[in-house]
């Protein structure tokens, strides 16, 4: 048991310390909407904590709705006919929701 304790402490530190290096981004309370024009796509891949609503229409448009401090943290790209929606993982997001 004595030899296991140092290993457990090291494993815990290795898991916790990388999380401390990320910047904290706290919501301002101001919600903004940003329309983004992208190339056509037929599939959607969600890679982050994002609420996504898909509506079919005549125009190809991606609308991002989130806090003003985080609107540029939402990554939307089209690759191989697939819309990829992701959140920049360099930050801890406090009191911020993402909707696309």
Instruction: Show the CA angle centred on residue 64, arms to residues 56 and 93, nearest 5°.
Output: 140
> Could you report the per-residue pLDDT of 8-62, keeping only the tens digit for each?
666 666 665 555 556 777 778 888 999 998 888 889 998 878 888 888 888 788 8
Helix, strand, coil percentages, rounded to 5, for the chain: 20, 40, 40
State both tokens at 2.
């004595």
Claim: this prediction has a pTM higher than 0.75: no
């Amino acid at each position: 048991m004595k030899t296991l304790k140092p290993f457990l402490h090291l494993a815990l530190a290795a898991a916790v310390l990388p999380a401390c290096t990320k910047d904290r981004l706290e919501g301002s309370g101001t919600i903004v909407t940003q329309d983004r024009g992208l190339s056509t796509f037929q599939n959607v891949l969600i890679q982050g904590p994002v609420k996504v609503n898909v509506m079919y229409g005549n125009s190809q448009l991606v609308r991002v709705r989130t806090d003003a401090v985080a609107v540029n943290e939402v990554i939307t790209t089209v690759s191989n006919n697939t819309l990829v929606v992701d959140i920049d993982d360099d930050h801890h997001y406090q009191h911020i929701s993402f909707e696309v």
